[in-house]
């Protein structure tokens, strides 16, 4: 009994050169691979014009081989050597309007994200090189002091907590590499005790808005408000103040329940922060006024009535202070900040403290090494 032999032609030259379909019959299982029909098919293929595309090549091969097969099958299709043509599958192209491959879509999204991240880093580096530290306006100061840098998701706890800040983005590297970081633990052994100029704080009723920026409650002063601090021969304008619970600073091994940081900037874009420490006690009318307009949602902002806020109402009567050079206490942890920590704390009620802690149970950076810095203690 005869068996058909299936041959796969992979190249055009092989197909045209074989001319294999014979009409052999009988006991020879392989038949006659050199019959006349094959020769005729070969002759026609040689005279044909060259194929110009894979589709043309496939069509010509099939045409020639089919003639050979038909000639060899006979009336009953027995005893023939049948040649089968198998062309490699072409890579399909996506027709217009076809759905995108999910894997390709994810790769493209990842590439876009990487590109956007690189664009952001270059833009931030250019801004810092040009002296724009984000404090041109009250909202700019908020972004810089609290690290609101778009894709940055730093936190106070967990894997994105303070220990990881310096590795999260290149512009945050100062958080781990800086030598003058804040906050600090101030002890008598670290202080330079002696006379120093008094703080000249000129605060008056102002218009402000209260914002929940995701890291704290912050009060932005109207840029037209004439609130200033004068110290070391320079005048700084009050931009905003915000709160940390517990207080970030420690004094002689004592911690405090809360602190308000009053952020100022002078004409040379230098920052000065006045820290007002707080402990439980009688309720604060000033805190009550701010909490009245406290936003509850992240990035929510509430406008206070015009002239409703006077920051002087927050200050203790005794304005003696500790002075040292440090940094922002949140990413990017920029250094060169003048710190003025008031020695006398003010009070707020336990209920006022509880309201804040419900939103921010812990938004304090741990104290940082002094690294041989001198702290001036003003008598």
Q: For residue 78, how far is the Cα from the chain centroid?
A: 72
CA distance 379 to 195: 6
Integer distance in angstroms from the first to the last C-alpha of the chain?
117
265: β partners: 237, 271
3-state secondary structure of 313: helix
CA distance 372 to 244: 26
- For the chain, state the CA radius of gyration: 40
- Give the helix/strand (H/E) hosting 165: helix 165-168
Q: Is 26 left (phi over 0), alpha (psi -120 to 50) or beta?
A: left
CA distance 84 to 7: 6
Of the candidates 135, 146, 149, 215, the residue annotated as catalytic is 215
Cis peptide leading into residue 222 (ω within 30°): no
CA distance 202 to 171: 34
3-state secondary structure of 318: coil
Q: Known catalytic residue: 244? A: no
CB 282 within 8 A of CB 350: no
CB 118 within 8 A of CB 41: no
- Give the helix/strand (H/E) hosting 375: strand 375-378
- Active-site residue list: 215
């Amino acid at each position: 009994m005869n068996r058909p032999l299936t041959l796969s032609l992979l190249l055009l030259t092989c197909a045209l050169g074989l001319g294999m379909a014979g009409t052999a019959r009988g006991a020879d299982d392989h038949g006659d691979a050199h019959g006349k029909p094959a020769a005729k098919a070969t002759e026609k293929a040689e005279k044909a014009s060259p194929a110009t595309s894979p589709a043309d090549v496939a069509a010509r091969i099939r045409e020639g081989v089919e003639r050979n097969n038909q000639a060899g099958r006979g009336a009953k299709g027995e005893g023939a050597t049948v040649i089968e043509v198998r062309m490699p599958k072409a890579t399909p192209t996506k027709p217009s309007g076809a759905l995108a491959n999910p894997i390709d879509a994810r790769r493209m999204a990842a590439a876009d994200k990487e590109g956007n991240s690189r664009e952001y880093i270059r833009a931030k580096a250019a801004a810092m090189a040009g002296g724009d530290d984000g404090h041109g306006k009250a909202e700019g100061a908020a972004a810089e002091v609290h690290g609101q840098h778009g894709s940055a998701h730093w936190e106070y706890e967990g894997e994105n907590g303070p220990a990881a800040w310096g590795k999260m983005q290149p512009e945050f590297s100062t958080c781990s590499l800086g030598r003058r970081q804040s906050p600090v633990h101030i002890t008598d052994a670290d202080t330079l005790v002696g006379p120093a100029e008094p703080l000249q704080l000129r605060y008056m009723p102002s218009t402000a808005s209260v914002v929940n920026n995701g890291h704290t409650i912050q009060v932005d002063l109207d840029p037209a408000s004439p609130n200033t601090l004068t110290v070391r021969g320079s005048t700084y304008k009050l931009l905003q103040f915000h709160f940390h619970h517990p207080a970030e600073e420690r004094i002689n091994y004592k911690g405090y329940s809360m602190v308000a940081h009053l952020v100022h900037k002078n004409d040379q874009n230098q920052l000065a922060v006045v820290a007002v420490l707080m402990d439980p006690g009688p309720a604060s009318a000033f805190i009550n006024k701010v909490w009245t307009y406290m936003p509850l949602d992240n990035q929510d902002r509430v406008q206070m009535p015009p002239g409703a806020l006077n920051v002087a109402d927050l200050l203790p009567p005794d304005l003696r202070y500790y002075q040292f050079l440090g940094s922002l206490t949140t990413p990017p942890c920029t250094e060169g900040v003048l710190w003025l920590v008031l020695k006398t704390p003010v009070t707020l009620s336990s209920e006022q403290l509880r309201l804040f802690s419900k939103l921010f149970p812990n938004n304090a950076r741990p104290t940082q090494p002094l690294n041989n810095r001198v702290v001036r203690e003003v008598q």
